[in-house]
Amino acid sequence: MPELSQFYGIVIKNHYNDHNPPHFRAQYGSDQMVVVVNTLGVIGGRIAPRATGLVMEWAAQHQRELHQAWEQARSMEPLDRIDPLP
């Protein structure tokens, strides 16, 4: 699964040719959650509350890039990296 970004021990990934709605996966340690790009709602899994807050802050700043990465993945194109949280 291609990695889009990494910050504070959190890894953001996307699957190629994944199902709708557009979403991404955030992994922190052995835990993972799935987040919808449009609403930033969690539709699966769970990670630590502090890590969840960081993921949501990051995702809110990068929704346009997340949509672009989703389209790239659906088209089986290489995914652009997205800047991490500072």
Q: Left if phi > 0, otherwise alpha if psi is -120 to 50, otherwise beta: which for 45? A: left
Res 57 pLDDT > 90: yes
Tokens of 79: 């995914």
Q: Can you tell me the distance from the alpha carbon of 79 to that of 2, in angstroms, rounded to the nearest whole number?
A: 7
The predicted model gives 37-65 an average pLDDT of 98
pTM, to two decimals: 0.94
What pLDDT score does 1 carry? 79
Q: What is the DSSP string of 26-42?
A: EEETTEEEEEETTT--E
The predicted model gives 26-45 an average pLDDT of 98
DSSP symbol at 75: T
